[in-house]
Amino acid sequence: MYNYGLFTEKSIGVGLIGTGYAAKHRSQAIKQDERANLIAIAGHSPESITALAKSYETQVSNSWEELVEREDVDLIVISTINSDHGKIARAALNNNKHLVVEYPLSLNLKDAEELIALAKDKKRLLHVEHIELLSGWHQVLKENLPMLGQLFYVRYSTMKAEHPARRKWTYNHQLFGFPLMGALSRLHRLIDVFGQVVTVNCHQRYWEIEEEYYQGCLCTTQLCFADGLLAQVIYGKGETIWQSERKLEVSAENGGLILDGDKGIFIGSEDTRSIEIANRQGLFARDTKIVLDHIFHGSPCCTESDRIGYV
């Protein structure tokens, strides 16, 4: 992505920040690739850090500040709460580390733009993880678009019913961020396929009966793309959602495409057929391989800095 020399050592030292779902899958992917050496893990919960470090036979770092300064760490992977991404990324880049960040890069647009510029100035990799672009869903969407003809309307809904909603950072305004910034992959998927957006209309509503955490949220946005395509993105979670859903519908001139969970359907004027969708296993391993291939061999990454800032 940037004009820096290829890594010449046999393996690269990796520091991981975070202990949740993404961090666990990233740890596993790093340990499975002989080009990467997981040096240490940092995070918010001492118990979770210790357990994860033990599982992957690595060290515990006292803090992320300590981890980004280690001389035996060349690559920092940020898989922690959204509100910490920006400040950790800045510290890592200022310590001349390559960087992988689970989306979003930052909850602040100006901060994200500065981080992209800083990575270029430091000649360091800045890769924002968007594994949705590697998924079976995404490949099916791109492969079937040519058969649809002129596109008319897209509806993309991800709803998660949780009863009760968990009292954790994903239900906190400051820690998670605005719903569609914390759930940026929904927009990124559509922009990667359909291109430039010219207008945006967005509304959100929260259900809050406690001070520190909300119990439900719903966010809807309407996107108008440069070619006239209209898209509606719906994101909701919590105690006010009663039916979970992960569904993408495309309506077009020659037919429709429906992706509903692990099922796909193409509806044409003459026939309707099912589409096989690959499962989501192994996406973090594929993304990690892409990063290491880029660092060692200069292979392209799947997310470019200009698009990161645009989304």
Q: Give the whole-angstrom CA distance, residue 101 versus residue 265.
A: 34
Is the alpha carbon torsion for 237, 219, 23, 46 positive or negative?
A: negative
CATH superfamily for domain 12-130+282-310: NAD(P)-binding Rossmann-like Domain (3.40.50.720)
pLDDT by residue (tens digit) across 218-249? 999 999 999 999 999 999 999 999 999 999 99
Superfamily of domain 136-275: Dihydrodipicolinate Reductase; domain 2 (3.30.360.10)
Tokens 């292979």 correspond to 299
Residue of 304 and 218 predicted with greater confidence: 218
The C-alpha angle 67, 41, 97, rounded to 5 degrees, equals 40
Query: What tens digit of pLDDT does each residue of 65-104 get?
Result: 999 999 999 999 999 999 999 999 999 999 999 999 999 9
Return the bridge partners of 199, or none: 224
Nearest to 3 by CA among 112, 125, 129: 125
d(CA 186, CA 183): 6
Which of the four pLDDT bands, split at 50, 70 and 90, describes residue 310? low
Boundaries of every domain in the chain = 12-130+282-310, 136-275
Give pLDDT, residue 183: 79
- The residue type found at 11 is S
118 and 90 in contact (C-beta within 8 Å)? yes
164 preceded by a cis bond (ω within 30 of 0) = yes
Element (H, E) at 155: strand 151-161
Residue 237 · residue 217 · CB < 8 Å? yes
If you average pLDDT over residues 187-192, what whole number do you get? 94
Q: Which of helix, strand or coil describes residue 185?
A: helix
DSSP assigned state of 104: P
Q: How far apart are CA 64 and CA 56, in angstroms?
A: 18
Where is average pLDDT lowest: 116-130, 133-147, 265-279, 288-302?
288-302
**Two structure tokens written together for 34:** 């002989």
Cβ count near 292 (within 10 Å)? 22
pLDDT band at 1 (very low <50, low <70, confident <90, very high): very low
Q: CA 145, CA 282: separation in Å to the nearest integer?
A: 25
Tell me the pTM: 0.91
Identity of residue 118: L
